[in-house]
Amino acid sequence: MNPEILRRYYMQVLEAPKKKRRAPKKSKDPFHPPLFEARPGHVRLVPCNACGGMSFKTLFEKESSLKEVFQVVRCKCGLVQVNPQPDLQAVLPYYADSYFKKRTDRGYDNYFSDEIKAEIRRVFTMNLEDIGFFAYEKKVFEKQRPGRALDAGCAAGYFVEYMAERGWNAEGIELSAVAAKPGKARGLRITVGDFLTHSDLIPQSYDFISFWASIEHMHEPARVLLRASELLQPGGRMVLSTCRYGLLARLAGRDWRFMNVPEHLYFFSVKRLTRLASELGFKVVGKVTYGSGLTTRKDASPFYRFAKRWLDPLVKVLGQGDMMVFHLEKMS
C-alpha cells in the first residue's frame, strides 16, 4: 500500500480532528519568558547526544503550544531529536500546572486524579509482565533482604508507591517540585533534585532503576543512562519506557501523538536505543512495543473505539507499537 495513502487514512479517519489553539496570552510571570524569537541564547545547535556527531537531516518543523517553532532532525546515527535545542530554562514554561491538570495533546487529564493513577498502575503491571521483570524480582527477594529501587523522574510517585507495596525499599527523584508534591504529601520517599548531580545517590547502591516515559524529556539521555549504570550494582536491572520512533511515527510525521516539542527532545527507535544501551554496558533481557497511536477518549466514536480495540493488540503482536519498554541488565 502507498505509505502516503496509509498515513492519510491513519490521521484523518482514525484520529478525530484537533481543535485549533488560540494564541497564548502574554504573561508577566518571570518563569514564562518571552517567545522563541525574543529570547536568543536559550536555543542552540547541540551535538547528537548518542554519537556526538553534527550531521543532521531536517525532517520537518513543528509548532509548540506556545507558538514557537522547533526543528525536528535525524542524526546520521539514526537518532531523531529536536535540534537546535532549548536549554532547561527555555523548556520550563511548558511544564506549568496545566501540563499535569488539563487534558491536551501534550499533557494529562488531571495526572493527580485517582482515575489516572489507576490507569498508570495498570500499565506498569502490563509492561513489567511483558518484559519478564517479575522473575527478576523473585530472585531479588530470595536474597532475604528488600531490594533497593529508584524511580528517576518519578513525578507524583506512583511507581515508588507501587514498588513499596510489593516489598521493595523504594524511592524516587523528581526535578519538578510541583509534580513531586502529592507523593511527598503521601509520605513517599521522593527527593526533589537533578538525577545527574544529586549527591545523595550513592554509586552501586541500587538493585533496580526505572525511567517511565521520562528519558525523552531529558537533555542528555546518554549521560543519564551512564549515571544509572554507575548507581546500579553489578547485575542490577533497569526498566526504560519511552515513545518509539518507528512505522507509526513515520506515517504520522509532525502529527504523531508523541511529537510534542519541546517537551520531548529525543525520539529513539528500537534499534538506536538497543545500540546505545549496549555501548553503555547494558544487555537487553526483555523488550516490548505497544500502542496503536489511538489514545483513550471519553467522547470517542463507536468506529474509533472499535479500531482501537483491534489495532492495539495487533501492533503489539507485530512489534510495531509507538511505545516501547526495555528491561536492561548491567553487565559486571
The per-residue pLDDT for 207 is: 96
309 inside domain: yes
Closest CA to 260 of 58, 155, 105, 103: 105
CB 174 within 8 A of CB 190: yes
**pLDDT tens digit string along 253-283?**
999 999 999 999 999 999 999 999 999 999 9
Does residue 3 sit within a domain? no
| pLDDT tier at 6, thresholds 50, 70, 90 | very low
CA-based Rg of the chain, rounded to a whole angstrom? 20
Question: Strands 80-82 and 266-267: what pairing?
Answer: antiparallel
pLDDT one-digit tens code per residue, 311-331: 999 999 999 999 999 999 999
Model pTM score:
0.83
Rounded-to-10 torsion of CA 232, 121, 79, 235: 20
CATH code: domain of residue 292: 3.40.50.150
Q: Kindly state whether residue 159 falls inside one of the protein's structural domains.
A: yes
Residue 251: phi and psi, rounded to 5, are: -65, -40
The pLDDT of 213-241, averaged and rounded, is 95
pLDDT in tens, 192-208: 998 998 988 999 999 99
- The closest of 14, 7, 12 to 307, measured between CA atoms, is 14
**89 falls in which pLDDT band (50, 70, 90)?**
confident
Using pLDDT thresholds of 50, 70 and 90, give the confidence band for residue 94: confident
Residue 245: what pLDDT?
97
Within-domain flag for 10: no
Examine residue 190 and state whether it is found in any structural domain, yes or no.
yes
The predicted pLDDT at position 97 comes to 55
134-159: average pLDDT: 92
Quick check: is 204 in a domain? yes
**How many domains, the chain?**
1
Q: Using CA atoms, how far apart are residues 54 and 324, in angstroms rounded to an integer?
A: 27
Return the higher-pLDDT residue of 259 and 145: 259
- Identify the pLDDT of residue 13: 36
What does the alpha-carbon distance between residue 130 and residue 124 come to, in Å, rounded to a whole number? 10
Contacts of 324 (CB under 8 A, 6+ apart): 241, 242, 243, 244, 268, 270, 273, 287, 288, 289, 290
How far apart CA 254 and CA 186 sit, in angstroms, is 39
Over range 151-164, report the average pLDDT.
Answer: 94
Report if residue 289 sits inside a domain.
Answer: yes
Between CA 326 and CA 71 the distance in angstroms is 28
- Domain containing 140 equals 26-103+112-330
| Whole-Å CA distances, 50 to 71, 171, 215, 275 | 18, 28, 13, 9
Confidence of residue 5 (pLDDT cuts 50, 70, 90): very low
Residue 8 lies in a domain: no
Q: Is the pLDDT of residue 217 over 80?
A: yes
Q: In the 8-state DSSP scheme, what is residue 220?
A: -
Most confident of the following: 12-26, 83-97, 284-298: 284-298
Residue 3 Cα to chain centre, angstroms: 27
